[in-house]
Chains A and B, each alone.
Chain A
Amino acid sequence: MNEWLDPLLLSRWQFGLTTIYHFLFVPLTIGLVTTVAIFQTAWYRTNKAHYLQLTHFFGKIFLINFAMGVVTGIVQEFQFGMNWSDYSRFVGDVFGAPLAFEGITAFFLEATFIGLWIFGWDKLPKRLHLATIWLTAVGSIASAYFIIAANAFMQNPVAYRINEEKGRAELTSIGELLTNPIALSAFPHTIFACFMVSAGLIISVAAWHLARNQNLETMRPALKFGLWMMVIAGALTTLMGDQLSLAMVEAQPMKMAAAEAMYHTATGANASFSIFTLGTPDGVSELFSIRIPYLLSFLSTHTFDGTVEGINNLQEQYVQLYGPGDYAPIIWVTYWSFRWMIGLGIAHIMVAVAGLWFTRKGRRPQAWMWKIAIWSFPMSLLAMSVGWVFTEMGRQPWLVFGLLKTADGVSPNVSGLEILISLIAFTLLYGALAVVEFRLILKAVQKGPDPATVPDPVSGEIKHTTTVY
């Protein structure tokens, strides 16, 4: 068969493409719905007009984004069966349950209450209407928990036994599945990173308006909120990322070795963390690097004299355990995605810290500072994406670590041509929608918040215009 039409390769590209794309919208949905709920709560409590303006303004951006998250999400669920049917047969008994829970408990909640929020401004009492946005937020965050618990099974299989006769993994304890140590760290790490994405958006938008000296009454408080949110969520994301790397070293030592491109086991000072490495093109030897001694030991074990296993040593162990094969992921992908995630993360947290300093007590930063702040949003989104690229590429060659290889999970009966057709179709449609989405969000952002709604002089009531399609 023509090697271009390799179903495995094409299915992997399609899953990677559609997942990265889907996860551009989801973090913003999770982060923004919570932010909008906070703004609306602030308005409910204080009755200050600018909170309502911010609620509507960021609510509009949220909605443009939300639809994309929903429709691209269906693709994700269908793809397991369509492209990875042998995987589905193998894990369905274990992996299907959290997916079903996600639908039953989280997606229904989110999808129902978002409709009530959008169309319910003039139909529901103020307090009840506020509850609808919070329930939407709860639904979106709960969905993240279940899907991360499902993903954690692929990284670190727990709560299963293998049924040899049926050739599948079977669930032994739902409680153990949902408290997988990887899930317990990956979930808060991801959720706080979602808040960073939302904070990044708020900072970028506020900086754009404030640089033009417009919409000051809404954008000044928005900026302050965004900066604090970024610093707090950034600190928590870092803390949870640290927890996650400890759990990861336990479950997938190869991933940590690949993150550092460390071929030989090292202890203490030798377990150093390289910030930058220039290697020969074949990746075998190193020409130049900047290294921090002890740091990798500390990250992996929380001690300065810990031992971190190297790729070659692990490879030998795995050959003994699982038979001949290459058990290392693509090293340059894991090495650089890990660094870009951390580097971008730290960079935009620093931007936010600097922002708080330069805007303290109503000071006005210099013009060039706005130009940097505007990059907060793209930085946070990119950090999120490369973080997941690291997690998933670092799992290779396994689909379920130690149990099923990626090559063994693909649908045996779907032809390369069919997958090529779907890959092209998704690429074209997703590409076109990305352009439309980006322009619409940009237009909404540049237009700025609508003027404050003036309460009716007689009743003191604020008349909301019902959002209509």
Chain B
Amino acid sequence: MTTWLGVDVGGTFSDLVVYDDATGAIRVAKGLTTPAAQDEGVAAIVAAAVPAAQRANAGYFLHGSTVALNALLERKGAVVGLLTTAGFEDVLEIRRGDRDTTYQLVFRPPPPLVPRRLRFGVRERVVADGSIRTPIEEADVAPALAAFRAEGVECIAVIFLHSYANPAHELAAEQALRRLGFKGEISLSHRVSGEYREYERTSTTVVDAYVRPCMSTYLRRLEGRLRDLGFNGSCLVTRSGGGAMSFGEAEERPFEAIISGPVAGAIGAGDLCRQLNIANAVTADVGGTSFDTCLIQDGRPTLKYEGRVMGLPLQTSWIDVRSIGAGGGSLARVDAGLLQVGPESAGASPGPASYGRGGSRPTVTDAAAVLGMLAFGELASGLRLDFAAARAALKPLGPALGLDQDGVARGILQIAAANMANAIRTVTVQTGQDPRDCTLVAFGGAGPLFATLLARELAIREVLVPAHAGNFSALGLLTQDVTQSTARTSLATLDEQGLARANQVFGELLGELHRRGRAAASDGAQAEAALDLRYLGQEYTLAVSVPVAGGAIATSPAEVVTLFHRDYERTFGHTMENPVQILSVRAILRSPLPRRARMRPAAAQVDRKARREIEAFSFTRGRRVPFGVLERGSLPPEEILAGPALLLEETTTTYIDAGFEARVHESGALFLTDREA
């Protein structure tokens, strides 16, 4: 029995969840993100919301951060130098040559993370079977390093062709750099990714090097602050592909934690859908700055084996969360007679005008406040909304649009909701899933505010607002296992010999994972294996899970072929008689964290008589109508509450438009159902 802490850092707010195994009780808190040094805000919220005794007894700190992502978005990462096989210095810039958009004549990808003057070739050549064709010319490293030093290079990425098949030359280059006295971080491509395709591997390795120092500095500072606060447990951070890893491992493999924040919400939503037997769901995670959405099928967020951030491919597993710049802080403006909302955000500072922190430009939150959607404006952390400031901020937009105050405010909400709905269509309709057959899982500080608007926009009938919706991403952090995974391209025919070779690779990968995981709780870790298989001659593969016993793949080639045919049939509707080939071996080490009792929300404590009323705008009715205003905690399970109503809780407000009715599930989750659909 122990206490768990989860902190998820968003663009505007940082969310804390405290879970006590002994009682099953959950406590939440919210604080402002401190963009310049996220660790300050994280430590401040832990210090403020968790008593010292509980801090000292807590076993786990699970974290979702945007430090690496911000470094990429804002291009504020390390100065990276790149060593490549001579003749391939420009691979990073040539990319694969394709355009992002089919019919876009004028195409300008962002400049490469490493400029051409910091990319140097080394004479060497390994070929596809791993044999050495040209021995490495270590003398080439010195002039490159001299140039790197002159330009203040902090990290060096090394990628040589076919290093997944034989890393000897990359290791030799690393040794040469060390011999020459380079003290900074070195990312070797074969350690970052064992998979072939040099542009994708180069991109991944360069991103790794680019975010390494800021991630490392951040995690060390944060851990130091937590220790200062008396915390003695394990520090873990979420991966882009789900699952947690130790801070130590995240320092080594920061490219795996690029989108750890948004992922936690998707993982938590998946966990909730499994508990509530919801087959298809789509998330609407609305924060201050961004809107994130992810399709969940059979309780699993959509997973890919290649990620992409700012157009850069990353060879790592990746939960498919799509993000757009739309949130409570999104700024509204009039452009050539049209009202536009986002993607620019007022962020945490100065924040919406109604926060009274110096912001004067109108935001989505200001519009919601003016429309009465935030009730009496009593927000988390004791903040009281300044309605006069909100009205003043909206005022200049009216004349330019020929609309009154409510018309402008309503337009801002509708445009923001339509933008969010388009993103949801992207993840649902574009993957063949009709959003109307999904449950909308709304969370984040402003998710429950938009829930019924989005449902109407998408003709979704059922909305789920989880308990602690305002801090749900942080809650999602607590539902993960510690996982580690790695893969290596190792081409072989699927026969006795090929499978034996795959098994040998698997053993090596597991050894690597055990070494990596030394800091995490890897005792009792379960090994899982998957083989990327294809018919001989094909390119794309299916990752097929195969049984493992005693740290080795425990099956026969014939059984693997049967598994492959079963998965192939399910995916493509047919099978072939051609021989099957192994392309890559994947190893996963899963250490389930100690079993958590079912989380329970705090029992209803608020007197129902506390019901109040406010005139707020109803999008269903097209005018202001009286909304009941209640504490969410005052609703007993299974009782039905008809909208229009506003449900208040510590970190969010649920706007229930006319026509919807609310029901609290025994788990504490709130279901909103459209009765007029």
Indicate, yes or no, whether A interacts with B. no
List residues of A whose CB falls within 8 A of some B CB: none
